[in-house]
Amino acid sequence: MTATIDPSTEAKPGSPVRLAGLRRGYGQVTALDGLDLDIAPGELVSLLGPSGCGKTTALRIVAGLEHSDSGAVFVDGKDITKVPANKRDMAMVFQSYSLFPNLTAGENVAFGLRLRGVSPAERRKRAGELLELVGLTQHYDRYATQMSGGQQQRVALARALAIEPKVLLLDEPLSALDAKVRVQLRDEIRSLQQRLGITTLFVTHDQEEALSMSDRVAVMNAGRLEQCASPDEVYTRPATPFVAAFVGAMNRIGGIASGTEVEVLGQRLAVTQPPEVPAGAKVTALVRPESVLLTPAVAGLVRVARSSFRGPVTRVTVELADGTEVDSDLPSSAAVDLRPGTLADIRFAPEPVMVIQ
């Protein structure tokens, strides 16, 4: 997707956003339980979490489409908690296709401009530029039903950008698309967001999307923020067992605590945070599959239970003596000899691991 765009659509300093102690309950269910989050100008922050963790509720409260029971939303330092949705100067791309069916793509993009009193000629010019920006110049006169899902979401993105919002809100905009289009569009969205410098809050339950698109990932669970950090940090240094388990795959292997180390299958590994248990206590070490190394060995301690080819990587699952299954992600070339039933030696990469009781 390439386009020559009007200078007015180039990067502008984004607006800082602050969520302070947002709470929201539905009857007995607590959707948000005191959410605090600061988003820097021009930053893209993903709200990542399982269904029902409160991420969409948070986004809708920021958009003004729902109200919080307590807490506040600040944009540019101003409290906008009581400001109605239509006066917040934000734009949202929805999960479901939200183009107005009675309008063409161009008219959809120009909708917000029309509400702002922009002249018809200027509207048409701007809508054309934005459709060019999302690679749909030829679709100006097409209705939503005449476009694919990916094209509709691109138009929805152009419509959102047309009003030059202070904050762009993305509510799982890629989840209804097929895998190939999803990957393509997520790269396009990220590229545009960086180019235009719009502060963006992105809701997703897809880890890959969150990790690949975001400046920071805010992992949520049961209405609370578990960790908000760079994708790399969230993955390699999860702050809580929930983050460790939710982001990426994780093995849970029994070990013996030993101060700042843990002994796992005879190997001593450093721990990210020493557990509050005496030395010699039984603990569980959380180890990523890519940190588990296997080599075929006639007198190996573990037996390969199954393997699953995933292109460049093959996931090999081995069974320990106590019946625990451990996953290992190996380069496919290294996994050729690890067929089900094969005995193997198991080692762990010398990286700090998280330990839970």
The two three-digit tokens of residue 24, written as one number: 């929201």
| Least separation in angstroms between CB 3 and another protein | 22
151 binds another protein (CB under 8 A): no
Q: Which is nearer to another protein, 93 or 217 (CB)?
A: 93
242 binds another protein (CB under 8 A): no
Rule CB under 8 A: choose which of 16, 42, 54, 112 binds another protein. Answer: 112
90 binds another protein (CB under 8 A): yes
91 binds another protein (CB under 8 A): yes
Rule CB under 8 A: choose which of 96, 138, 308, 324 binds another protein. Answer: 96
What one-letter code names the amino acid at 294? L
Asked if 194 and 213 touch (Cβ cutoff 8 Å), the reply is no
Measured between alpha carbons, how far is residue 221 from residues 19, 48, 68, 266 in Å? 16, 9, 18, 34
Strands (E), 76-117: 78-79, 90-93
115 binds another protein (CB under 8 A): yes
310 binds another protein (CB under 8 A): no
Sign of the alpha-carbon torsion through 76, 77, 78, 79: positive
Sign of the alpha-carbon torsion through 87, 91, 93, 98: positive
Q: Which is nearer to another protein, 95 or 212 (CB)?
A: 95
Q: Which is nearer to another protein, 15 or 342 (CB)?
A: 15
Choose the binding region for another protein from 22-30, 57-65, 191-199, 277-285 (rule: CB under 8 A).
Answer: 57-65
| Least separation in angstroms between CB 310 and another protein | 35
289 binds another protein (CB under 8 A): no
149 binds another protein (CB under 8 A): no
Asked if 245 and 219 touch (Cβ cutoff 8 Å), the reply is no
- End-to-end CA distance of the chain: give it in Å, rounded: 50
What is d(CA 140, CA 315) in angstroms, rounded to the nearest whole number? 46
82 binds another protein (CB under 8 A): no
The two three-digit tokens of residue 330, written as one number: 């190996």
Asked if 262 and 273 touch (Cβ cutoff 8 Å), the reply is no
Rule CB under 8 A: choose which of 67, 78, 116, 339 binds another protein. Answer: 116
Burial grade of 122 (CB within 10 A; 0-12, 13-18, 19 or more) = exposed
Q: Which is nearer to another protein, 159 or 182 (CB)?
A: 159
Strands (E), the chain: 17-26, 29-39, 44-48, 70-75, 78-79, 90-93, 167-171, 199-204, 216-221, 224-229, 251-258, 261-264, 267-270, 282-287, 292-296, 302-310, 313-319, 325-331, 343-348, 354-356
Rule CB under 8 A: choose which of 56, 98, 200, 207 binds another protein. Answer: 98
| Residues 159-178 close enough to bind another protein by CB under 8 A | 159-160, 163, 169
Rule CB under 8 A: choose which of 44, 111, 182, 186 binds another protein. Answer: 111
281 binds another protein (CB under 8 A): no
| Number of chain residues interacting with another protein (CB under 8 A) | 32
Choose the binding region for another protein from 111-119, 221-229, 240-248, 281-289 (rule: CB under 8 A).
Answer: 111-119
Choose the binding region for another protein from 1-9, 15-23, 70-78, 92-100 (rule: CB under 8 A).
Answer: 92-100
What one-letter code names the amino acid at 86? N
What is d(CA 241, CA 284) in angstroms, rounded to the nearest whole number? 11
143 binds another protein (CB under 8 A): yes
Chain residues that interact with another protein, rule: CB under 8 A: 63-65, 84-87, 89-92, 94, 96-98, 100-103, 111-112, 115-116, 143-146, 156, 159-160, 163, 169
